[in-house]
């Protein structure tokens, strides 16, 4: 995962160090049996972490599959490293399907208005601004916003350029910034005295190296929901919310996809289309933020499509 530049590699390592190595860390890979896997997952489920147990099961299954493929890969015939795994010990251990659900939470217009109007005390000003920016930047991935270095933000050109190393599909993502987004960025930077290298510095301290942890925002949002009775949601639900609400405005799906940097699946788009669609993206972003502004200020939440849209 590290070799492929996966951002979650460090999180996976921590999960394995905490939950797996204490049980099988001293064993050879070929010595691990299904009952070892059952014991690991049972301990996690027993302490109230069934979803995390499914994640650990998935990572272990991938690890043993890697070992099997490694040993049977003709290109590695000369490798001095051999795992000698005859079968994947995770394959016969089922995951807990009862705790897995399809993410389908989206915020209604009135909820968006209520979220925008939250007091700083209810959520904390940095986290409130982060949620507002997720909305104003057309539903970007929370991880990419929270960890954004200031060097990616060209406020004069009004473009946020996210490099392949920080995007899920490993492609450049050029996002037009609206007046609303730039105003929110200025408010965030003002919190830290216009210092530091990151939009959201670690612990809110611009002198600390690195950005805020992606988990911090999620924890604060869940606490907000528990404390206020706001229907439970997590930051990534705002991505689905924007995608859905922009559709209600009549903004075409291909433009919405490009604004959120969804991977293009067709051959033409993947290999031949090099147009950046900045004109179309900027028009859609401006339209979205204009309607968002009206919704916030007046409570008028009736989307009006242009003739011929939909």
CATH code, domain carrying 70: 1.10.150.130
- Residue 24 shares a structural domain with residue 165: no
Alpha helices by DSSP H, the chain: 9-19, 21-24, 34-46, 50-72, 109-116, 120-123, 125-136, 142-146, 179-191, 214-228, 237-248, 253-259, 267-271, 278-298
How far from 254 is each of 138, 250, 263, 266, 274, CA to CA, in Å?
Answer: 14, 12, 11, 12, 15
Residues 248 and 135: their CA atoms lie apart, in Å, by 15
- Residue 246 shares a structural domain with residue 212: yes
Which residue segment(s) compose the domain that 75 sits in?
A: 9-99
- Residue 77 shares a structural domain with residue 133: no
Of 31, 41, 96, residue with least CA distance to 64: 31
- Residue 138 shares a structural domain with residue 284: yes
- Residue 263 shares a structural domain with residue 166: yes
Would 104 be classed as within a structural domain?
Answer: no
Mean pLDDT of 109-129: 93
Last residue in a domain, options 76, 99, 122: 99
pLDDT tens digit string along 59-102?
A: 999 999 999 999 999 998 888 889 999 999 999 999 887 776 55
- Residue 220 shares a structural domain with residue 133: yes
Q: Please check whether residue 178 is in contact with residue 132, taking contact to mean a CB–CB distance below 8 angstroms.
A: no
Statement: residue 307 has pLDDT above 70: no
Would 308 be classed as within a structural domain?
Answer: no
Statement: residue 267 has pLDDT above 80: no
Mean pLDDT of 225-237: 92
Mean pLDDT of 8-33: 93
pLDDT bucket at 308, cuts 50 / 70 / 90 = very low
pLDDT at 27: 96
Q: What percent of the chain has pLDDT over 90?
A: 74
Q: How far is CA 177 from the centre of its chain?
A: 20
Would 309 be classed as within a structural domain?
Answer: no
In the predicted model, what is the mean pLDDT of the chain?
90
Q: How many domains, the chain?
A: 2
Statement: residue 156 has pLDDT above 90: yes
- Residue 235 shares a structural domain with residue 174: yes
- pTM here is 0.73
């Amino acid at each position: 995962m590290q070799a492929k530049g996966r951002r979650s590699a460090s999180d996976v390592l921590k999960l394995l160090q905490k939950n797996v190595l204490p049980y099988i860390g001293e064993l050879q890979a070929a010595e691990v049996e299904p009952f070892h896997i059952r014991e690991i997952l049972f301990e996690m489920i027993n302490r109230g972490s069934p979803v995390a147990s499914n994640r650990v099961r998935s990572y272990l299954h991938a690890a043993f599959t890697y070992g099997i493929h490694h040993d049977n890969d003709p290109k590695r015939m000369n490798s001095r490293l051999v795992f000698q795994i005859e079968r994947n010990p995770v394959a016969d251990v089922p995951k807990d399907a009862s705790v897995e659900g399809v993410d389908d939470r989206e915020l209604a217009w009135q909820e968006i208005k209520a979220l925008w109007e939250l007091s700083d005390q209810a959520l904390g000003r940095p986290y409130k601004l982060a949620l507002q920016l997720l909305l104003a930047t057309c539903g970007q991935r929370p991880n990419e916003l929270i960890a954004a270095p200031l060097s990616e933000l060209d406020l004069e050109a009004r473009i946020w350029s996210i490099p392949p190393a920080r995007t899920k599909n490993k492609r450049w993502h050029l996002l037009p910034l609206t007046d609303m987004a730039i105003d929110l960025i200025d408010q965030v930077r003002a919190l830290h005295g216009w210092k530091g290298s990151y939009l959201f510095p670690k612990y809110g301290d611009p002198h600390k190296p690195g950005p805020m942890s992606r988990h911090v925002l999620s924890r604060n949002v869940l606490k907000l929901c528990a404390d206020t009775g706001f229907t439970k949601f997590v930051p990534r639900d705002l991505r689905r919310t924007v995608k859905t609400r922009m559709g209600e405005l009549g903004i075409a799906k291909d433009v919405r996809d490009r604004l959120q940097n969804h991977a293009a699946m067709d051959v033409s788009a993947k290999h031949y289309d090099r147009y950046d669609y900045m004109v179309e993206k900027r028009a859609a972003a401006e339209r979205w933020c204009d309607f968002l502004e009206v919704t916030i200020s007046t409570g008028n939440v009736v989307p009006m499509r242009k003739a011929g849209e939909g």
